Structure 1
Amino acid sequence: MAKRTVPLVLLLLVVYGVCVPASAQVCRLLGQPALPLLHAQKDINIGAIFSFHRSALLKIHPFTSKPEPTTCISFNLREFKFAQTLIFAIEEINNNTQLLPGVFLGYKIYDSCSSIALTILSGMALMNGYEETLRDTSCSRPPAVHAIVGESNSSPTIGLASLVGPFSLPVISHFATCACLSNRKRYPSFFRTIPSDYYQSKALVQLVKHFGWTWVGTVRSRSDYGNNGIAAFEEAAKQEGICIEYSEAIFKTDPQDQFLKTVEVIKKGTARVVLAFIALGDFVPLLKVISQHNITGIQWVGSESWITSRTLAETKEYSFLSGAVGFAIANAKLMGLREFLVNVHPDQEPNNEMLKEFWETTFQCSFSNSGSGGCTGSERLAELQNEYTDVSELRIANKVYTAVYAIAYTLHNILKDIKTSTKSKKKNIMKLIKIKIMDLSSQVLEYIRGVQFTIKTGEEISFDASGDPVARYDLVNWQPVQDGSLQFKNVGFYDSSLPSEQHLQVNQEHVLWAEDSGQLPESVCSESCPPGTRKAVQKGRPVCCYDCIPCGEGEISNVTDSSDCFPCDLEYWSNESKDRCVLKVIEFLSYTEIMGMVLCIFAFVGVLLTTIVSSLFYLHKETPIVRANNSELSFLLLFSLTLCFLCSLTFIGRPTEWSCMLRHTAFGITFVLCISCILGKTIVVLMAFKATLPGSNVMKWFGPLQQQLSVVSLTLIQMIICVLWLTISPPFPFMNLSYYRDKIILECNVGSALGFWAVLGYTGLLSILCFILAFLARKLPDNFNEAKFITFSMLIFCAVWFTFIPAYVSSPGKFTVAVEIFAILASSFGLLFCIFAPKCYIILLKPEKNTKKQMMMKSLHKTL
């Protein structure tokens, strides 16, 4: 039986669907449709959703019966003023003969009670109308409104934008700032007249950076507004090197323990600056707890949601907010708005319960009470100064006003194009609207994207590709007044349309800081690292917590809070403070330093002594001791020794191209000349002894001419070596950067190492040969025997130069040159003293021995 029943029911449904006319088919809504609280039906209608009540009472539904209507509590005067501003703008447009001429705008305004669910319900009513019975024609007629203004909070607006987006119904919010709403894929029909939190977050980061705060705490609403706002702030702050000490999230319905926990975190934190990116309704419970715990000394930075709240500023318990700074929407003056607001009266719509609730909330009376606390209706709004009647702060109300005008200009552009395309006369415009009303709804979204206009306040309005306006903010500072309350003072602005370096402008001298201080508070985890140091992040802590490490030798940092030290170029070195690279000290053996002066003195002493010896020999040139020792070679030897002493001076002073070539070649040639003379004298001694033997004629082969030619020949070989050296690869000045890190050694590079060692090698070869011959001739008769003195002199010479090589290689910088000069002077003095001192001694102190007879007696004595 059950099996036959199901097909039978389906058959009856099919027959009913075929037989019953389409116009008779109806659908009924489950429950009552949402009704607008304020409405006026006109040619074209605008929808609006405001939070006339701060919250809706949550009820537990048993799901066994029909839910009871939602009860809304805590009437919100600010939101009611927003709604009246919308009506004011619409009536102003309707009275404007230039804007939408012949067309009148109406409105349908709903209360969301700050509830996402009620916002969505209101949005559906604005799309579908509020008839209880829906027919097939309900789906083909246009929406009840052509655009929606609202909501004030981001979370309900997200729900509303998600709902109406697929139906291309524009939503223009005046106060929903969540950056997430700029996502065109998710919210294709969303626009707003208030800047996105993306720009506010960037502005707040620039503000914090401007004041040098790198260590801040944050408190946010646990909502889309707070979460997305702080996320954008933290991302931008990280790029600017700003650290977040803590980030607390709260919501107005949180238990008291959550607020106490947040206050404890703020109290224990070391950050003196706290950013409150928080909705006003969430901030008030937290402020109450803060005031109870008497927390002061905090520099508050606020978002636009509360930074211009008169309620907070006029509450003396919140005086600790003095000095707060934050960005607010630019203020505006709407002429005629206050007169419009104070003319609102419940008698205008006697059956409107919301107007009665507004009146009761404003005057703290009741229409149901006929006694002393009852409302008479004779109360005057014009005599009242409260959040509703105050028109000194119309920052957000102006955005409602702007949203209405955006819709009006969009409609105006559409109707103007329709009129132009049909060439219709003005008197037929209403008929044309009725004909085109179906197309009009689909064109609003397309036209609003490109709308541009200027409102009466002088502000130019347009939307970018994401539906956002140009970001402009006033920088507001809370400053105390005599009655103990706080006032808002503009101390700067932020304008994203200006060049990036001009976005933020601050009049810092007009800012009053926390605790009414004129001193800019500091909020850093670590003090700034001065130039000459680098930051080293403390282990396990944020990057703003660091130690200052001095830069190493040869490294600098020339900015405050440098993260690294940078090495100087090769020719530069760090100064003592490590904040600047200076040219390295160029070191060379100078005439002005002690060591250079001492060596110069010794060189001149050597020249002087050599000159004295030469003069002495010249005065006694006819004496036997001078004549017996080859006077021509002796004078040539003294001349070469003078050159040896003088050539040492070429090693002192700043090396140049010419001095480098001169010092090595002069040294090589003069010493070879000197040694050639000594070698000639040694050979003369040997030849003279051989000539005394019977039958010997050796002296004819080594007479004075041959001696001179041998000296010239040996010296010429050295000169040829030097010429080849200078031609192929001459010595040159060289800046040695590798030996010392902190200074440059200016020295002479030998150019060709082969040429350098060839000069030394040839000199050494002659020295060794001379030493060997002198050693062999050391036992010849005394009157001829100069060989033993030559032996001593060459022994000193060879010892000096053999020890010179390792000392030369191992000596650093200018000491290398000093070692070479010392070797030249030491060997020169050795030759001078060993060869000529004994002769000078006889000439000056023992003249009786300077006779031919004495010479012959010595020779005879030696022979016997």
Structure 2
Amino acid sequence: MLSFEEERDNYKENITSYRLFTHLYQHIAALAFAVKETNDNRQLFPNVTLGFHIYNNCFTEIGTYLAAMELLSRRRRLAVNYKCETENLPAAVISGPNTDICLHLATILCIYKIPQLIFGSSPMVNNEVQGLFFHHMFPQIGYQYGGILRLLLHFNWIWIGVVCRDDDTGQRFVQYVLPMFAQQGICFQFIVRIPKPDFTNTLDATVEKYNEMITNVMGSTANVILVHGETTTIMVIRLMIYVAEVMETPLRISTKVWVMTTQMEFAMLSFVRDWDIDFLHGAISFEVHSKALSGFKSFLQTKNPLSAKKDKFLWMFWEEVFNCDLPNPSLEKKDNMFCTGKEELEALPASVFEMSMTSHSYSIYNAVYAIAHALQAMYSTKLKQRAVSNDAREELWNRYSWQLHQFLRRVTFNNSAGEEVSFDQNGELLAGFDIINWVTFPNQSFVKIKVGTMEPQAPADKSFIIQDDAIVWPSIFNQELPLSRCNEKCQMGSNKRKKEGKPFCCYDCIPCPEGKISNYTDIDECFECPGYQYPNEDKDGCFPKEIIFLSFGEPLGMILAAFALKFSLITLFILGIFVKYKDTPIVKANNKNLTYILLTSLLLSFLCALLFIGQPGKVTCLLQQTAFGVIFSVALSSILAKTITVILAFIATKPGSRIRRWMGRRLAYSIIIFCSLTQVAINMAWLATSPPFPDLDMYSVSQKIVLKCNEGSSSMLYTLLGFMGFLALVSLTLAFLARKLPDSFNEATFITFSMLVFCSVWLCFIPTYLSTKGKNMVAVEIFSILASSFGLLSCIFSPKCYIILLRPELNSKEQLIKRRD
């Protein structure tokens, strides 16, 4: 804990007999370096001269409260609020990096409205008043967690372990941050809470617990361990590894990638300087963005305990890092034990002391400058640029010291490294994070390489940048990207299925179902190919489908077209026979004009079948069903007219019958015209509302796209077919009733057979049509048209042709009279 006094040049050390973390001496050096620069820069800070106190809290609550009480007491006597000298309360306190230190201090400092500049993460405060006096040399904590999440997702590390402190800070991390990670697909194999170390006691009581913890961590299948800790966490992890080694527990030390939060820093006690730090090789950590200060290394090189005998911190640090004793009259003179003062700090491995400024030290440096700029702004405002004596300035400070907060909130400056330092409305530092890769060496030294950045204020595409190729991974991975998954990825052609009772990151891989593919690894669900493509055999890709239709060039199309033409020629031949023998009794018996109309409609029905063969177009699609419906309606209405004519002719022969007046061509033609116009009206309504059109059927046939005519409106098609079915049933019924009427050349019997064939064909057509797919549906419809038309043609006209051509003696008037008798 560091505190500042304005317009004093005092340096106080509160040192216990406790051995120190040698790395943390850099915090003291950064503080002294910053104060020296501000005091030397009289042009920038003409009204400000800084002094400071340093308090060691020994990482304990008692030590923190004791330091706070001493800060508010007279020197060398613990008497809070009692100051007999002309001492002032400190202008500000710089605390950190542990959050509990800051929170404990706030309990007391907020009473005196003393600003507290925190160079670690912000503590969670329950008292809003305490939070008013916090000024954070740390960006908003949520940015860091967002950066860690993006790092995990960037490398697809979704199966991780978590190590955190067993305190309020760790509890909040587990309770509020880890669920956010889980929502983005991160699973946790374990969450280990390490107890807060108590350096005033021995470690014997925690040996078993430490051994169990590190065994679980190192033996896990997760290759990535997220560590949420603070200053002493790395030390504790190293102690755990040491305990396991002492207990001869087999561990694979260099098998994990440690991802560490910004609050952590490398800090070791000097007696463990020879312990291996291999577990940190390849680790990745986040640090508050920092930049090298040109004069800091030179400042460290000037440090010499022999020329600064009052600097007790330096004396302790020097003896610890160089393992020697500085000259002291109370000690016996032993040349091999005394320090010469000529030892060089840069010769020390980084595990003992770092010469380059760490991010925490950089934050302390900026905190000193923030205080100096705020004080300068405050004096400039209050004094209104008037020159006053030191006493007047002291009186001014006592009156307005609490107003320093508003100036700290608004302070903005460029430090000596040329970087702008400013704060947001909540008093948090506007800065980003550096992503650091740790590389260790056999001599227990290490280097930290910047491999990326996290800039919350940058555009979205530039807010997270990382150089994958620059990262050094743990040696076991042979410089390949480490994988951290519960199980292997599902390969293409399969999808994931959750394992019961396991986290959602653990799953089985099952092949894609028929008709679906997965062309990515680790896909949740297989999906269908686009309509114009079909899955390959491995179900990991799609091939373009072949477009098909019933063409004249294929065998089935050629056969159907040949039968249509053949039947058309037969119909023409029969029509020619009936025209040639139009004056014979058998032709005249049932209205030869109706016969001509029926034969013509049957001829057109055979030719109509050709519309269904070939590539469907707009015209052919419009003509297919409409022409088929009208032509068949004419044919069926002609048969109906023939049947009604037969019935009326029989009834008219009875004495006194008045039906004779209905006999004649007018009735037959009226039936044909009425039925045909009704069908035409149905077709016109169909074409007007939802006409047929060329369409692609992509799904009924696998690996094929069927080019067909879409009916447009199924209901209109069923209406068309229903009307034809009605005509067929009426004709069949009437013909069946008239089949035994005593009349020569009675066609009712032949019509009955023809309509039975017609109805049988179309009744069979419906299930067959619905059960077939693709171009076979068209072939079924063509076959039904040809079969039903040929059934009518053969059943009605073959007996007559037989008589006309082969039994002409039966085609005579005498034979007609004989049959009637």
What TM-score comes out, normalization by structure 1 length?
Answer: 0.78
What corresponds to 1:330 in structure 2?
A: 289
Report the alpha carbon displacement of residue 774 of structure 1 after superposing the two structures with TM: 4.0
Q: Tell whether the 8 Å contact from 2:439 to 2:472 is kept in structure 1 after alignment.
A: yes
Cα displacement (A) at 1:350: 4.2
What residue in structure 2 maps to residue 216 of structure 1? 160
Question: Which of 32, 40, 44 is the equivalent residue of 1:95?
Answer: 40
> Contact 2:21–2:268 at 8 Å: present in 1 too?
no
In structure 2, distance between residues paired with 1:447 and 1:565: 60
User: Residue 235 of structure 1: which of 152, 174, 179 is its match?
Assistant: 179
> Is 187-196 or 209-218 further displaced after alignment?
187-196
Task: Confirm or deny: 8 A CA contact 2:218 2:256 kept in the other structure.
Answer: no
User: Structure 1 residues 521, 46: CA separation in 2 closer, same or farther (over 3 Å shift)?
Assistant: farther
Distance 1:133 1:285 in 2: 36
- Inter-CA distance 509–84: structure 2 relative to 1 (3 Å threshold): closer
Corresponding residue pairs, total: 784
Matching residue within 741, 744, 759 for 1:801: 759
- Paired with 2:33 and 2:557, the residues of 1 have a C-alpha distance of 97
**Alpha-carbon offset, residue 404 of structure 1:** 0.7
Query: How many Å separate the matches in 1 of 2:241 and 2:376?
Result: 47
**SS in structure 1 at match of 2:334:** coil
Q: In the alignment, which residue of structure 2 is the partner of 1:834?
A: 795
Q: How far, CA to CA, are the matches of 2:755 and 2:656 in structure 1?
A: 33
1:202 aligns with 2:146: yes
Moved more, 164-173 or 735-744: 735-744
Indicate how the Cα distance of structure 1 residues 530 and 403 shifts in structure 2: closer, same or farther if over 3 A, else same: same
- Deviation, 1:812, is 1.4
Query: Which digits, 9 at most, give the CA deviation of each residue in 1:581-605, with x for residues without a partner?
Result: 9999999977777766654443332
Corresponding residue for residue 718 of structure 1: 675
Contact 2:48 2:375 in 1 (8 A): no
CA distance in 1 between counterparts of 2:444 and 2:81 reads 64
Q: 1:206 to 1:248 in 2, by over 3 A?
A: same
Return the match for 2:632 from 634, 658, 667.
Answer: 667
Q: Displacement of 1:258 after TM fit?
A: 1.2
Distance change (3 Å), C-alpha of 1:761 and 1:46: farther
Contact 1:494 1:504 in 2 (8 A): yes
2:729 is matched with 764
Provide the C-alpha distance between the structure 2 equivalents of 1:229 and 1:49, rounded to a whole number of angstroms.
35
Distance 1:137 1:125 in 2: 11
Residues 582 and 202 (structure 1), Cα distance of their counterparts in 2 relative to 1, 3 Å cut: same
How many angstroms does 1:544 deviate by?
1.1
Superposed displacement of residue 524, structure 1: 0.9
Q: Which residue of 2 aligns with 1:392?
A: 356
Q: Conserved in 2, the CA contact under 8 Å of 1:804 and 1:819?
A: no
Superposed, 1:87-236 pairs within 5 Å as 87-130=32-75, 132=77, 143-174=88-119, 176-180=120-124, 184-195=128-139, 197-224=141-168, 226-229=170-173, 231=175, 233-236=177-180
**TM superposition shift of 1:105:** 1.3
AA partner of residue 164 (structure 2) = R
CA deviation profile, 1:93-144 (whole Å, cap 9, x unmatched): 1110223204321111122222221121111222333364869975999853
Unmatched segments (≥5 aa) in structure 1: 1-35, 53-70
Paired with 1:776 and 1:155, the residues of 2 have a C-alpha distance of 115
Per-residue CA shift, 1:371-394, capped at 9, x if unaligned?
A: 325766642244752368742243
Post-superposition shift, 1:84? 2.5
User: Which stretch has the larger CA shift, 96-105 or 236-245?
Assistant: 96-105
Q: Deviations over 1:346-402 (max 9, x none)?
A: 455546654443333243223343332576664224475236874224332222111
* 1:276 match: 227
Match of 1:9 in 2: none
Q: Is the 8 A contact 2:69 2:80 kept in 1?
A: no
Give the aligned partner of residue 513 of structure 1: 473
Query: Relative to structure 1, is the Cα distance of residues 713 and 333 closer, same or farther in structure 2, using a 3 angstrom cutoff?
Result: closer
Question: Shift in Å at residue 256 of structure 1?
Answer: 1.2
Task: Identify which range, 460-469 or 93-102, moves more after superposition.
Answer: 460-469
Aligned equivalent of 1:6:
none
Looking at structure 2, the residues matched to 227 and 536 of structure 1 have their Cα atoms a distance apart, in angstroms, of 32
Structure 1 pair 764/816, CA: closer, same or farther in 2 (3 Å)? farther
The Cα of 1:412 is off from its aligned counterpart by 0.7
Q: 1:769 to 1:821 in 2, by over 3 A?
A: farther
Segment drifting more, 721-730 vs 588-597:
588-597
The amino acid across from 2:485 in the alignment is V
1:415 counterpart = 2:379: yes
Which of 496, 509, 517 aligns to 2:456? It is 496
Partner of 1:16: none
Aligned to 2:641: 676
Q: CA deviation at 1:456?
A: 0.8
Secondary structure, counterpart of 2:191 in structure 1:
strand
Equivalent in the alignment of 2:602: 641
**Which residue, 462, 480, 501 being the options, matches 2:422?**
462
Equivalent in the alignment of 1:449: 409
Counterpart CA distance in 1 for 2:66 and 2:444 is 44
Q: Which amino acid aligns with 1:832?
A: L
1-side partners of 2:657 and 2:137: how far apart?
127
1:561-576 equivalent positions in 2, closer than 5 A: 561=522, 563=524
**What's the CA shift for 1:502?**
2.7
Matched residue of 1:449: which SS? helix
Mean CA deviation greater in 710-719 or 209-218:
710-719
Secondary structure (helix, strand or coil) at the match of 1:217 reads strand
Letter in 2 for 1:717: F
Give the structure 1 partner of residue 365 of structure 2: 401
CA distance in structure 1 between the partners assigned to 2:132 and 2:637 by the alignment: 99
User: What is the rounded CA distance, in whole Å, between the counterparts of 1:151 and 1:512 in structure 2?
Assistant: 30
Structure 1 residues 219 and 47, CA gap change in structure 2 (3 angstroms): farther
CA 1:207–1:309: 2 relative to 1, 3 Å: farther
Instruction: Give me the whole-angstrom Cα distance separating, in 2, the residues matched to 1:550 and 1:136.
Output: 77
- Structure 1 segment 497-646 matched on structure 2, within 5 A: 497-515=457-475, 517-529=478-490, 535-548=496-509, 561=522, 563=524, 598-618=559-579, 634-646=595-607
Equivalent-residue separation in structure 1 for 2:548 and 2:589 (angstroms): 50
Amino acid at match of 2:373: Y
State the structure with more CA Rg.
1
Deviates more, 1:819-828 or 1:246-255: 819-828
Q: In percent, how many aligned pairs have the same letter?
A: 26
Match of 1:360 in 2: 319
Query: Residues 167 and 528 (structure 1 numbering): CA distance in 2 closer, same or farther, change over 3 Å?
Result: farther
Aligned position for 2:302? 343
- Per the alignment, residue 257 of structure 1 pairs with 208
Q: State the alpha-carbon separation in 2 of the partners of residues 632 and 863 from structure 1.
A: 23
Does the CA contact (< 8 Å) of 1:528 and 1:561 recur in 2?
yes
State the SS of the aligned residue for 1:317.
Answer: coil
Aligned-partner Cα distance in 1 for 2:763–2:223: 70
Separation (CA, whole Å) in 2 of partners of 1:305 and 1:472: 14
1:698 CA drift (Å): 12
1:424 counterpart letter in structure 2: R
Counterpart-to-counterpart distance in 2, 1:361 and 1:492: 34
Q: Look up the SS of the partner of 1:490 in the other structure.
A: strand
Q: Quick one: distance in 2 between partners of 1:593 and 1:697?
A: 60
Deviation at 1:90, TM superposition (A): 1.0
| TM norm structure 2 | 0.81
Match of 2:390 in 1: 430
Displacement of 1:482 in angstroms is 8.2
Opposite residue 405 of structure 2, the aligned amino acid is L
Report the AA paired with residue 407 of structure 1.
Answer: I
Deviates more, 1:455-464 or 1:741-750: 741-750
Partner of 2:241: 287
Aligned partner of residue 105 in structure 2, secondary structure: helix
The structure-2 alpha-carbon separation of the partners of 1:226 and 1:824, relative to structure 1 and needing over 3 Å to count, comes to closer
| Residue identity matched to 1:403 | A
Please state how far the C-alpha of 1:606 moved relative to its aligned partner. Answer: 1.8
Offset of residue 414 of structure 1: 0.2
* Distance in 1 of aligned mates of 2:795 and 2:569: 17
Please point out which of 781, 797, 808 is paired with 1:850: 808
RMSD after superposition: 4.7
